[in-house]
C-alpha cells in the first residue's frame, strides 16, 4: 500500500486535509495500463484514417483558394438568376425552354429564387441540373432565335462552359 498525505496550502501556512488516502498499488497499475491501451487505440485509429484513399480530391481540384471558390459559386448563381429572369421576361426564350423541356420530359421550371432562402436557391439550381440539355441547346441555338441584340449579348455573357457545368454540381449541390 502507498500512503498519500494531502495537504492544502493557504495564506496562513497550510493545514492538513484531515484524511490520508490509502491506494492499492494493483488498482493504480490497472488504471495506468487502461490509459495506455486507450492511447494506443487512438493512435491505431489515426493510422487507419491516414490509409483511407481520398478519391474525391483526386477528381476535383482542391487547390483553389477559398475566396476563389466563393467567387466562382457566386458568379454561377448570378448567371443562373439572370437566365431565370430572362426566361420569364422573354416569351421567345420561355417558349424555347418549355418546348424543349416537353421533348425531354422534364417537369421542372426555372423560377427566380429568394436570395435569403436556401431552399428556393436549391430548387433553382436543381432545375438547372435537370434542364442542362435544354440550356446547352439554348446557348448553341441562340443565334437562330429571333432575339434582340441586347438579349443575345446577355445570353453570351451568362453562357456556361464545360468547366462551369462540371464545377456546378460538385461544389454547389453536394
Average pLDDT over residues 164-173: 68
For the stretch 143-152, pLDDT in tens is: 888 888 988 8
CA distance 154 to 157: 5
Say if CB 4 and CB 23 are below 8 A apart: yes
Average pLDDT over the chain reads 72
Any idea which residue has 483558394 for its cell?
65
Q: For residue 132, what pLDDT is reported?
A: 87
Q: How far apart are alpha carbons 66 and 63 in whole angstroms?
A: 9
**Helices 132-140 & 118-130, crossing angle to 10 degrees?**
70
95-124 pLDDT, tens digit each:
998 898 888 888 888 877 777 777 788 888
Centre a 10 Å sphere on the Cβ of residue 117 and count the other Cβ atoms it contains. 10
The pLDDT of residue 6 is: 46
Q: How many CA atoms lie within 13 A of 59 on its CB side?
A: 8
Amino acid at each position: 500500500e502507498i500512503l498519500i498525505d494531502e495537504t492544502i496550502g493557504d495564506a496562513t501556512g497550510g493545514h492538513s486535509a484531515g484524511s490520508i488516502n490509502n491506494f492499492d498499488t494493483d488498482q493504480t497499475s490497472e488504471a495506468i495500463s487502461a490509459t495506455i491501451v486507450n492511447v494506443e487505440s487512438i493512435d491505431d485509429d489515426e493510422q487507419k484514417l491516414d490509409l483511407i484513399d481520398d478519391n474525391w480530391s483526386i477528381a476535383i481540384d482542391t487547390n483553389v483558394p477559398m475566396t476563389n471558390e466563393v467567387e466562382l459559386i457566386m458568379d454561377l448563381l448570378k448567371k443562373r438568376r439572370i437566365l431565370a429572369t430572362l426566361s420569364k421576361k422573354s416569351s421567345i426564350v420561355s417558349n424555347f425552354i418549355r418546348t424543349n423541356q416537353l421533348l425531354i420530359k422534364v417537369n421542372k421550371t426555372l423560377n427566380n429564387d429568394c436570395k435569403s432562402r436556401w431552399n428556393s436557391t436549391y430548387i433553382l439550381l436543381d432545375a438547372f441540373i435537370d434542364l442542362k440539355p435544354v440550356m446547352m441547346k439554348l446557348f448553341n441555338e441562340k443565334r437562330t432565335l429571333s432575339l434582340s441584340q441586347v438579349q443575345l449579348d446577355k445570353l453570351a455573357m451568362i453562357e456556361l462552359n464545360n468547366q462551369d457545368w462540371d464545377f456546378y454540381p460538385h461544389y454547389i449541390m453536394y
